[in-house]
Each structure stands twice: as C-alpha cells, then as structure tokens.
C-alpha cells in the first residue's frame, strides 16, 4: 500500500545515508538507485553514467526505481526509500532530458503522500566516487526535486537540521506515527 512506502530525499550530501544507517535496524530501508547504477556502470566501464550518456543513466535509474518500488509493495511493514520514482524527474530535468517517462511512472508508482525532504547543508557536504558535484550545484538539484514532488502531488515535509540521531528520530517518528 502506498501509505507504507515512504521516501527520504534531498540534494546529494544532505545526510540521507547517515539517517538511513541510523534507523536501518528499526525500519526496512531501500538504498539509493543512482549510487548503485553509477557504481555498476563504472565497474564495467559502461556508458550509463551522467557524464557519458545522461539519457541512458536516467533510463537505468527509472527502471531501478520502479523495480525497487515493485519489490517493496509486498512488505507488511513500512519501507523507507532513499529516493523514489519522482527523483527521476529531477535527474532528467537537471540533465536536460525529457522527463515525460519519469512523470508517467511517478503517477503510476505512488508512495505515502508526505515525502521527507533534506535541504542542502554545506557543513556536512562531502564528495566521493559517485557524488562529484560541487556544493553550489546541489541547489538547482534540490529545486528540481521540490518541483518534481510537488508537480506529482506530494506534500514536502522538511527534516530539521541537527544531529544524525535527532534527524533519524524525526524520520522514524514521521513514518511510524509516534
């Protein structure tokens, strides 16, 4: 049921992974598809990366996001996704790709109406093999995320800044209704 499928999203480097790692023992968490695809494509010297073939990357990302949604629909307990199908709209928009396939998919593959959003936060921002954008570049992506989720009918709930434990407690309470 969509009400048991929750999304935690936000600009790269905003703290999603740390929060998910903190609550992973309590709530089933589904990893970020973009990181998986980038790592897989780099391991095989594939073209499905944003810098080689952005259109292929978005297609792979959309399919992986749909697959993860489909797999989680059978769960009996709440599931928390590190990004959801509507994130593909933001990726497509930022990369100059037609987002229409992602928009149609976001209408079909629904989640809980309230989406937990993390804002860019420079003090915790770092780069790595998969996160190569500058901190300044996180703002247009954040704006594209907000637009993608709002245009597909979701309500954005901002996760307040604070310690990882504080943020994780906020996310846990938002999902479990405590």
Question: Which residue, chain included where needed, has tokens 């598809």?
Answer: 33
Which candidate, 115, 121, 171, 111, places its Cα nearest to that of 146?
Answer: 115
Among candidates 63, 6, 10, which has minimal Cα distance to 33?
Answer: 63
pLDDT digit string, tens, across residues 52-96: 999 999 999 999 999 999 999 988 899 999 999 999 999 999 999
What would the pLDDT profile of 15-53 be if each residue is shown by its tens digit? 999 999 999 888 999 999 998 999 999 999 999 998 999
> What sign for the dihedral angle of Cα 18, 22, 27, 30?
positive
Measured CA to CA, the distance from residue 57 to residue 49 in angstroms comes to 5
**Residue 163 confidence (pLDDT):** 96
Cα–Cα dist 58/34, whole Å: 9
Give the DSSP H/E element, type plus range, for residue 158.
Answer: strand 155-158
pLDDT averaged over the chain? 93
2 vs 5 pLDDT, higher one: 5
Report the residue count for the chain.
Answer: 178
130 pLDDT band, cuts 50/70/90, is low
Owning domain of residue 99: 2-176
Domain count across the chain: 1
Instruction: Specify the CATH number for the domain of residue 49.
Output: 3.40.50.300
Predicted TM-score (pTM) of the model is 0.92
Rg (CA), the chain: 15
Q: How far is CA 124 from the centre of its chain?
A: 18
């Amino acid at each position: 049921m969509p009400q048991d499928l929750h999304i935690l999203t936000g600009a790269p480097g905003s703290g999603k992974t740390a929060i998910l790692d903190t609550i992973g023992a309590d709530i089933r968490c589904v990893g970020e598809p973009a990181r998986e695809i980038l790592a897989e494509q780099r391991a095989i010297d594939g073209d499905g990366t944003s810098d080689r073939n952005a259109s292929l990357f978005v297609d792979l990302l959309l399919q992986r996001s749909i697959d993860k949604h489909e797999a989680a629909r059978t769960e009996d307990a709440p599931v928390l996704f590190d990004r959801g199908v509507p994130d593909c709209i933001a990726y497509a928009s930022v990369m100059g790709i037609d987002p229409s396939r992602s928009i149609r998919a976001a209408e079909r593959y629904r989640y809980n109406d309230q989406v937990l959003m993390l804002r860019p936060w420079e003090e915790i921002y770092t780069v790595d093999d998969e996160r190569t954008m500058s901190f300044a570049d996180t703002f247009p992506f954040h704006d594209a995320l907000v637009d993608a989720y709002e245009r597909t009918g979701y309500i954005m709930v901002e996760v307040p800044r604070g310690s990882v434990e504080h943020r994780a407690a906020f996310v846990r309470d938002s999902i479990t209704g405590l």
